[in-house]
Amino acid sequence: MASQLPFTIRRTAASISSTAIKTPARTISASPIFQRRCISAATRGFRPSQQGTVARSHIYKTQQCTHRLKQVRLFSDESTSLREWGFEDINTSLPSDSRSPSHKPVILIDVREPAELKGTGIIPSAISIPLASQPDAMYLDADEFETRFGFPKPQVDGDGTLVFYCKAGVRARAAAQLAVQAGYDPERIGVYEGSWLDWEQNGGKVEKWDGDDF
For 45-96, the DSSP string reads T--GGGHHHHHHHHHHHHHHHHHHHHHHHHHHHHPPP-EEE-HHHHHHHS--
Mean pLDDT of 9-14: 51
Residue 60, in any domain of the structure? no
pLDDT band at 96 (very low <50, low <70, confident <90, very high): confident
Considering only CA atoms, give the Rg of the chain: 23
Q: List the single range of 79-83, 84-88, 101-105 with lowest mean pLDDT.
A: 101-105
At 214 the pLDDT is 65
At 178 the pLDDT is 97
Residue 177, in any domain of the structure? yes
Which run of H or E residues covers position 32? Answer: helix 32-43
Residue 135, in any domain of the structure? yes
Best mean pLDDT range from 27-31, 69-73, 124-128:
124-128
pLDDT digits (tens, 9 = 90+) for 18-30: 443 443 434 334 4
Domains identified in the chain, total number: 1
pLDDT digits (tens, 9 = 90+) for 140-169: 999 999 999 999 999 999 888 999 999 999
pLDDT band at 175 (very low <50, low <70, confident <90, very high): very high
Range of the domain at 169: 83-95+105-202
Provide the CATH number for the domain around residue 116.
3.40.250.10
Residue 188, in any domain of the structure? yes
DSSP code at position 169 = S
